[in-house]
Amino acid sequence: MTLSELNIDASAKQNAQTWLDGDYDEATKQAVRDLMSNPNELNESFYRNLEFGTGGLRGIMGVGTNRMNRYTVAMATQGLANYVRKCFPNTEKFKAVISHDSRNHSCEFAEITAHVLAANGFHVYLFEALRPTPELSFAVRHFGCHTGVMITASHNPKEYNGYKAYWDDGCQLTEPHDVNVIDEVLKIKELKDVKLSGNDDEIELVGANVDELYMRQIEANSLHPELIRQYPDVKIVYTPLHGTGVTMIPRMLERMGFTNVNIVEEQSTPDGNFPTTPSPNPEEHAAMALAVDLAKKIDADIVFASDPDADRVGVAVKRPDGEWMLLNGNQTFAVLMYYVIKQRQAIGGIRNGDYVIKTVVTSELPSVIAQSAGVKVYDVLTGFKWIGAKIRELEGKERFIMGGEESYGYMIGDFVRDKDAVAACCMIAETAAWACSQQKTFFDVLVDIYREYGFYKEDLISVVRKGKSGAEEIQQMMRDYRTNPPQSINGSKVVRIIDYQSGQDTDMLSGKQSLIRLPKSNVLQFFTEDGSKISVRPSGTEPKIKFYFSVCDSLSDAAAFDSVNARLDAKIKAIQKDLRLC
């Protein structure tokens, strides 16, 4: 059977035939032929080209234009190189830095990226071994590079890999660069358009020297180093989940002065198959299970886990009843914000022009904490690239303190322009030491926050719809919400709707509309009369549509935590049921 005889998408036929006719290796061509016996998989592999989303280029590994492989990586890199050269036309020497995580084929993809950039006249700084994403972001600015590339699929399952492209400020690509880069990639119709080799003497291996400079910056973040000297034996359990965090986080904690760091041995070896967990995502209980088991065994004070590229961090804390509770990203961000703000107030470090940043789907609690101290808060679109872009916009005008988002990403200081699990783990550990100095636990600090500012509770549901038909279904769901928005949710009237795609903020009671001064994005938010917030957005990196829920109540005293928590959980479930999501 030939491709023309298969009942598949026309674009898939054309793309697959190009690979069969082009200058691809024979093993790849045979893999395409093998897919002819599975038309659905052939269609999924070739019906489109991978696109840049909020996290860059990301997909399942395998043959095809819609898969991560050596050829899609090479073509993406050629497009990136072409675009960089257009943006900096008078540059004598282009520079780029490349790193990778522990995923299968990550090292290979990093090397291919380096070869293509070198062949295009770039001096390439290639990390000699796996390194965390935040160190790559730091290195872009340190070396004065025009671009950088991190090969990683972050916290996705083992079948995935990805390609995060960075601009000269160490931030992931934002508009118009993200769209323009993919436009350049789409201009490359054949593999012969890619410069695959040449000038390899321009590839320079880097490692320990950058590590040292990066660690110095994190060390300078500390707001209360004497606390660590007083409480160095805070009992920490850490797991890198088979990722890059093991190269940096234990070293950094030791350097900060923490002497009781216990690593989960079963997950300490970098391994792209992630053999001890179904998903290397610190947001999930299964990924944290071994770490929590160790914490129970040794009676630890706090647990944290970094994802494979060490930009996200999950936290577990011990409750007064001895049980362990996993914090969500909003809770960890709130505690970090509370500690940083309180310490800056104590040392007289809050001044006019200080600001923090959060994403629009993140809890309002960090904003309440910051604003109560006179610190300005900026909301940006989902994705840390928008936090980095805002920092660049305000550079030299105002002073950035910290930023965060609900999906377990935090950034303290601006020497890195992406979420940073290494720096976050150090600040979390310092916060735990501060809690000890107050005869409290990390959990106690969270409860104190709820008592002072209100008990905010959040949840997230992701509805997965895979493939081309799934993508179309997700878009139809968004159209339905726009054309027929809910009038009430869980019996509470919808009083405000923000549509970030149209840029309209609508007061549903008065009908008054105002403009949202943010880039267009396919996100909807519904605010109800009882203070609930529901956000809806398709994922930029995964085949899913996400629903974010936030509700709030007062907490009179610590003893009421469980009852208020249960009441808020029930409210979220009722909202989800009303929206037919459960």
Can you tell me the distance from the alpha carbon of 501 to that of 234, in angstroms, rounded to the nearest whole number? 46
Phi–psi pair at 85, nearest 5 degrees: -65, -35
Answer whether 273's CB lies under 8 Å from 265's CB: no
Can you tell me the distance from the alpha carbon of 524 to that of 547, in angstroms, rounded to the nearest whole number? 10
Identified catalytic residue from 154, 363, 521, 532: 154
Element (H, E) at 111: helix 106-119
| 154 is an active site residue | yes
Residue type, 49: N
Q: Which residues contact 61 (CB under 8 A, 6 or more apart)?
A: 67, 68, 69, 104, 105, 159, 160, 161
- Three-class secondary structure assignment of 330-390: HHHHHHHHHHHHHHHHHCCCCCCCEEEEEECCCCCHHHHHHHHCCCEEEEECCCHHHHHHH
Nearest to 416 by CA among 288, 248, 179, 257: 248
* 383: alpha, beta or left? (left if phi > 0; alpha if psi -120 to 50): left
Residue 234, exposed/middle/buried by CB under 10 A (0-12, 13-18, 19+)?
A: buried
Q: Alpha carbon of 463 to those of 284, 318, 546, 572, 582: distances in Å? A: 16, 31, 6, 16, 11
Q: Which residues contact 5 (CB under 8 A, 6 or more apart)?
A: none
Element (H, E) at 545: strand 544-553
Phi–psi pair at 411, nearest 5 degrees: -140, 125
Residue type, 582: C
Q: How far is the first Cα of the chain from the last one, in angstroms, to the nearest whole number?
A: 44
Nearest to 492 by CA among 466, 527, 448: 527
Can you tell me the distance from the alpha carbon of 244 to that of 215, in angstroms, rounded to the nearest whole number? 15
Q: Alpha carbon of 480 to those of 470, 476, 513, 522, 545: distances in Å? A: 15, 6, 20, 13, 13
Instruction: Report the catalytic residues.
Output: 154
